[in-house]
Amino acid sequence: MILGSLDLAILAVYAVAIFSLAQWVSREKDHRQKDAQDYFLAGRSLPWWAIGTSLIAANISAEQIIGMSGSGYVIGIGIASYEWMGGLTLLVVGKFLLPIFLKNGIYTMPEFLERRYSPAVRTVMAVFWLGVYIFVNLTSILWLGATAVHAVTGLAVQPALFALGLFALAYALYGGLKAVALTDIVQVSLLVLGGLVISCTALERISGGTGIIAGFHELTMRFPDKFHMILAPDNPNYKDLPGLSVLIGGMWVMNLSYWGFNQYIIQRALAAKSTHEAQTGMVLAAFLKLLLPVIIVLPGIAALALAPKLGRPDEAYPALMRLLPPGLLGLVFAALIAAIIASLGSKINSIATIFTMDLYRSFRPATSQRSLVFIGRCAAAVSLFVAMLTAEPLLGNFDQAFQYIQEFTGFFTPGICAIFLLGMFWPRTTSAAAMAAAIASAALSAVFKLFWPALPFMDRVGLVFLLCVGIAVALSLMGTRRRKLQVQLTGIDYATHAGFNVGAAAVVAILIALYATWW
């Protein structure tokens, strides 16, 4: 498949416009030099609409669009639980976690761990997150994004991978978080528009031209086994989505770790003008999460009807793109590129923030603000080039990249979730207990994976989380806290404004209706 001249023109307009906009919104008045707060936290000035859209832009990229469509092709609508339960998690984070982080004025998640526990915990977790962001997140976005570009244009994967990486670097390197966050409303709008185009086109074709509603009804009739949110134990995909665990089990641990304690996600909320703005942005993101399965899961299910003999599930979304006419193909392709570039920009900015503020500044505390920004830019560039070189060796042989990412991160998220939740809501927790829980998470996950391979990974995540909490509580009760807390955990105002409460109620009502419909 070759892009036509109209498609290439649309892509060129997008590339020039988004690059120019990023440079314009991130400029400093009166030619003032950016300091660390400007570069890493957008001067703590982000409005609610930028926070909400940027949360989604950081979240949705190639591993979501390509990977989750592939899982939709195999599993069905059940994989949408990652999105819909993520929306509910955003409300919990906005209500109970954000007020603590914003009250303490932190830059990063590792910084919170140092102030709550010890410098050792901060260093260990900073190194861990850098490893995951570079060798799991960046590589997956680059590899799956390049694979999609190859499928659409015929361009070889490696040149496509380097082109995506270099454009993302040019887009985000100068302006930092402000360049990324303030342009993400454009990126997300394009992503939603492109996703709706491909979903509607697919359903129209399935219906034989009688409308998208008829196409959706036809899809549910032809593949009824793909329209169950809660999978039964005899379902061949039960191991990936083990029944009620998506509602009351391990998915909560995965989602809280991702949306509440993940630097490249929570960094947008840390940069808010106020708690009110941050919480409003969370509600906006929750509503957008409800929409996302329509544009990234539904195409995968539709591919069962339109491209039933795919070699690999992750080819589902590119296969549907081949069905689009000129112009629409360019629009959807630009939307896919927008998702990739926005997510790459978010991750390299967070890598730069953690490396500079948690590692470099810890060893050189007297470093000037201008030098910190320079170090951050260097860290962003180096991390991206490392990811470019390692993407194919790490991810080239996986059929369902989305499930691979979830399984890998599931080794560590139980411990992360345990030490943050205990650290925020149980002052007795000691630094030794936190370190033990973090180490136990990986060790126990490996033991269960080796000796109980039939245990669904989501159940494993939930079980390991409970064990990590038990270990941390036991060690804390046996030990003594030798260090005075350097974070404020009392006197936090958890009250939310009327807009948040109404929006949260609406999200919950929609979720109840969705799960009741496709139980």
User: Going residue by residue through the chain (519 aa), what tens digit of pLDDT does each one get?
Assistant: 567 888 889 888 988 888 888 778 777 666 666 667 776 776 688 899 989 998 988 888 766 787 788 889 999 999 999 899 999 999 999 999 999 999 998 888 999 999 999 999 999 989 989 998 998 889 988 987 888 788 778 888 899 999 999 988 887 777 677 767 777 788 888 888 888 989 999 999 999 889 999 999 999 999 999 999 999 898 888 888 888 888 888 899 999 999 999 988 888 888 888 999 999 999 999 999 999 999 999 999 999 999 888 888 878 888 888 888 888 888 888 888 888 888 888 889 889 999 998 999 888 888 888 898 899 899 999 999 999 999 888 877 665 555 567 667 788 899 999 999 999 999 999 999 999 999 999 999 999 999 999 898 889 999 999 999 999 999 999 987 667 788 898 889 998 999 999 999 999 999 999 999 988
The domains located in the chain, with CATH, are 39-233+251-399+510-517 (1.20.1730.10)
Please give the span between the terminal C-alpha atoms of the chain, in angstroms, as a whole number.
Answer: 39
pLDDT of amino acid 463: 96
- Farthest-apart Cα atoms in the chain, separation: 71
pLDDT of amino acid 117: 92
Per-residue buried b or exposed e for 208-223, using 16+ beta carbons within 10 Å of the residue's own CB: eeeebeebbebbeeee
Hey, what are 117's tokens?
């526990």
Prediction pTM value: 0.89
Does residue 492 contact residue 99 with C-beta atoms inside 8 Å? yes
pLDDT of amino acid 462: 94
In a 13 Å sphere around the CA of 324, the CA atoms on its Cβ side amount to 28
Distance between CA atoms of residues 307 and 310, nearest Å: 6
Distance between CA atoms of residues 435 and 408, nearest Å: 20
Residue with tokens 């990229």: 61
Does residue 413 contact residue 253 with C-beta atoms inside 8 Å? yes
Hey, what are 304's tokens?
């069962």
pLDDT of amino acid 192: 87
Tell me the DSSP string of 332-380: HHHHHHHHHHHHHHHHHHHHHHHIIIIIIHHH-TT--HHHHHHHHHHHH
Does residue 345 contact residue 171 with C-beta atoms inside 8 Å? yes
Q: What residue type is 139 in one-letter code?
A: T
Q: What share of the chain is helix, strand, coil (3-state, %, to 5)?
A: 75, 0, 25
Hey, what are 160's tokens?
């496509």
**CA-to-CA separations, 340 to 149, 158, 321, 385, in angstroms, rounded:** 11, 15, 16, 16
pLDDT of amino acid 443: 95
Distance between CA atoms of residues 491 and 164, nearest Å: 46
pLDDT of amino acid 260: 94
Distance between CA atoms of residues 190 and 207, nearest Å: 26
